[in-house]
Structure 1
């Protein structure tokens, strides 16, 4: 889907996603000392807004202007804590070694594009900073539910490990099980610390 498709999807309903942060983002970042964060492909900003509420200064990037407006509406008058920008994560060049946390949550791209985003994320996080990816795992095609039905855009622990091990030490690398009604979704969850 391109930015226009996402704009239409966001316009069709009041909220596409929950206002609550992603459970794995909460689990993996709650113990971190707040600093500066980059949320790549932030969507409607549920994770960015939650991080800001915990004291983080967040740069939220998304290629949908409708999503970016929703982030700014959610932030309201506290626009110093979240700066939302319309930008495509595959073309965005973040400031190098500038972030204490770089978050990629459910960004589903073809492997070549995703590899470039993962490399860019590694350059953007400062030494000692945290990289976190949460994505729809490829295992969903046979054993889970949710996410795209195209294996070429699904995540895997192995793929993220291969991208991040040259620059960071992996702390968490798992396929996590997330209840979805009566079913279960499988999520790739990888947290790493930049060397």
Structure 2
């Protein structure tokens, strides 16, 4: 049984159709290229990036979410490649993405560690990791995200995991997010834009 497939298996887009606000801001800093959106859900960020001219692939664990990604892409008149993957065992390629976007994708510790290692490996030199994730302080807000503290992010761990990357943006604090039914108000997040250094840098 896949709870994410069940969650997304509705007519309504449970996180809405509009992109995450941080994705809108971060996209302004990206060169056009190949973008991977992981744990992409119903496709709102992937489709938005495709409307800007990026070559976008969306990965998710729920086929219902990928189906809705394709439906939203058709609505917007763009193409997004969708692939069904479980991040616990997906095969990451080597230096094939110009950016990897990771919005509110929260995983058990082992899967998160494996995912970060995969991101580091599969970003091209000069490529960017873009994320907005709930911190452990989000439990006090109750406006979205996992209710299990172990799935929430300790910001220092991200800094340690991406040691050696160039930090273009790193912010911890409050934001206001109204994203469908499940992200509903003031929240506590960590935002990152980490750039993989070029070999000559």
Q: Could you tell me the TM-score, scaled by structure 2's length?
A: 0.87
* Map of 1:105 onto structure 2: 103
Cα distance, 1:191–1:71 mapped onto 2, change above 3 Å: same
Which structure carries more relative contact order (alpha carbon 8 Å, separation 6+)?
2
CA RMSD of aligned residues (A): 2.1
Gaps of 5+ in 2: 179-183
Is 1:174–2:176 an aligned residue pair? no
* Map of 1:29 onto structure 2: 27
Q: Could you tell me which of 188, 191, 194 is aligned with 1:192?
A: 194
* Map of 1:116 onto structure 2: 114
| Stretch of structure 1 that moved more, 80-89 or 41-50 | 80-89
Q: Deviations over 1:108-144 (max 9, x none)?
A: 1122211110110111110011111211111112366
1:69, CA displacement in angstroms? 0.7
**CA distance in structure 2 between the partners assigned to 1:106 and 1:147 by the alignment:** 7
Cα distance, 1:180–1:128 mapped onto 2, change above 3 Å: closer
1:65, CA displacement in angstroms? 0.6
Give SS of 2:35's match.
strand
Cα distance, 1:12–1:77 mapped onto 2, change above 3 Å: closer
Contact in 1 for aligned 2:51/2:78 (Cα 8 Å): no
Q: Could you tell me the TM-score, scaled by structure 1's length?
A: 0.90
**CA distance in structure 2 between the partners assigned to 1:141 and 1:52 by the alignment:** 33
Give SS of 2:150's match.
helix
**CA distance in structure 2 between the partners assigned to 1:75 and 1:178 by the alignment:** 27
